[in-house]
Amino acid sequence: MNKTQIAKICEAQRAFFATGKTLDVNFRIVQLKRLREFIKRYENQLEAAMKKDLCKSEVEGFLCDVGPSIMEITETIKGLKKWARSETHFSGLLCWPSVVTKVHKMPYGNCLIISPFNFPVLLTFGVLAACISGGNTAVLKCSSKSSESTKVMKKLIRDAFPQKYITVIDGGHDVADMCLDQRFDKIFYTGSPKVGVHVMQKAAKNLTPVALELGGETGNWCVIRKDANLKDAARKIAFFKACNSGQICININQIAVAREVAEPFIEELKKAFEKQLGPNAIQNDEYPKLITKAAYDKCDNWVKKYKSKLVYGGQGDGKTHKYNPTILYPMSADDDICKQELFNPILPIVPFADNQIDKVLKMIASREHGLALYLFTSDIAWAKRVMKTQQFGGGCINEVCIHLMVKGVPFNGTGHSGIGAYHGEWGFREFTHPTTVLMGKKYFNLPLREHPYNGKNGIKYKMIKSMMR
């Protein structure tokens, strides 16, 4: 795919959008149903592709990618007519006699969706569902790292939709830049903060609005108080860190554990890993691998750097790119590994005195906002206060990750962890622009806004002031 071909695709999509066909809500619903139908039709191929790319088992592929995509589309189909309905507002006495104002939810037009490798199906089709619901056309730039998944998605979209409406473009960073050099009406990017900056710079040339779903530059914290149920916390954290081998934007990056319970918690965490994956996870066929050799080497280099803190795991297979869940303890929050997103199965554990929890939260708040925050404690009142005062994308109290699965709520981060929000109605809003239209009247218009005003002692000023309260 070269720049000329991409430009022709964008031109064809812009022409198709100009026909007004996508403005029809019923048309959008038909397309969403078609997308859902083809995902179901290609389910086995998608799961097989993810197994090749990431060594995900078919069950994990359905649980984390295919199934949530179907759920997202179904929710969108059910709610779309209500979401897309124009709003009616009272214009106010100052606008008399034009008392009716409408707010129409208008599509942006031609959209670019750049999706990542870690959840190639969900983070492509979940965003596409929102894009279609808004009445847009879409160019999907899928990841070259998850090449097998991209091949299947390209075939699926080609079979389901005409290129002038939706198409998949594959290739590396050079192809992504070719896409970004085109004039789109909306860009949705999922990936790292560093590339997010690059996307915004490219989009700024055309003042194109951007939504970013980012992992968080300094990682997502999990805090475990001394009153937490350690076995329950360990079980959930072990599942989460093993899922996709830690390559999840909302995954736990580092854990702050009350020193009073740190060692018993680590023992529970070791047991949980072994119960779920066996004594050597890299020999488990269902345990995913790291996406590339570079990702594997980065993980291995971190472990080598902190080998004196290694208390569990630390072994990998350079051929399969699988790396065992690894615990490093005791770590400092100022260690380099605790200051960035890892995207692998390493868990640095930072001990703290439970009565110093406020200092821990202050430290977390001083860093770039994470995409997620997880708290384990029996003090629910305290946890609720924290969740209302910290800045982060989303999170859980005494649970991990499943806030992502809740219908009707927004998902994304803030600052270095994201811009905008999507899922359900929030996705529809992200891909539409609210257009305000006042319904004017020909008769009985008051001359209040017109000259002459006759100063502040005049009747016009007094009437205007009485209305503008």
341 is catalytic: no
Measure Cα distances from 427 to 286, 382, 410, 430 in Å: 32, 31, 8, 5
Are residues 297 and 319 in contact, defined by beta-carbon separation less than 8 angstroms? Answer: no
Q: How far apart are CA 322 and CA 233, in angstroms?
A: 24
In order, the DSSP letters of 151-164 are HHHHHHHHHHS-TT
Q: How far apart are CA 443 and CA 5, in angstroms?
A: 54
Q: What are phi and psi of 31, to 5 degrees?
A: -70, -35
Are residues 346 and 337 in contact, defined by beta-carbon separation less than 8 angstroms? Answer: yes
**Smallest Cα–Cα separation from 69: which of 187, 195, 156?**
156
Q: What does the buried/exposed string (b/e) look like for 180-206 if buried means 16 or more CB atoms within 10 Å of the residue's CB?
A: bebebbbbbbbbbbebbebbeebbeee
Are residues 84 and 319 in contact, defined by beta-carbon separation less than 8 angstroms? Answer: no
Q: What residues pair up with 114 in beta bridges, in sequence order? A: 141, 189
Helix (DSSP H) and strand (DSSP E) numbers for the chain: 16, 18
Among the options 111, 249, 338, 401, which is catalytic?
Answer: 249
Q: How far apart are CA 429 and CA 270, in angstroms?
A: 43
Which is it for the CA torsion 27, 32, 37, 41, positive or negative? positive
267 is catalytic: no
Q: What are phi and psi of 27, to 5 degrees?
A: -60, -45
Among the options 47, 60, 213, 268, which is catalytic?
Answer: 213
Beta strand spans in 238-367 (E): 254-258, 310-312, 316-317, 322-323, 326-328, 346-352
Q: State both tokens at 229.
A: 């149920």
CA 391 to chain centre: 16
Q: How far apart are CA 55 and CA 249, in angstroms?
A: 18
Are residues 188 and 211 in contact, defined by beta-carbon separation less than 8 angstroms? Answer: yes
Q: How far apart are CA 105 and CA 154, in angstroms?
A: 30
Cβ–Cβ contacts within 10 Å for residue 48, how many?
17
- Residues serving a catalytic function are 213, 249
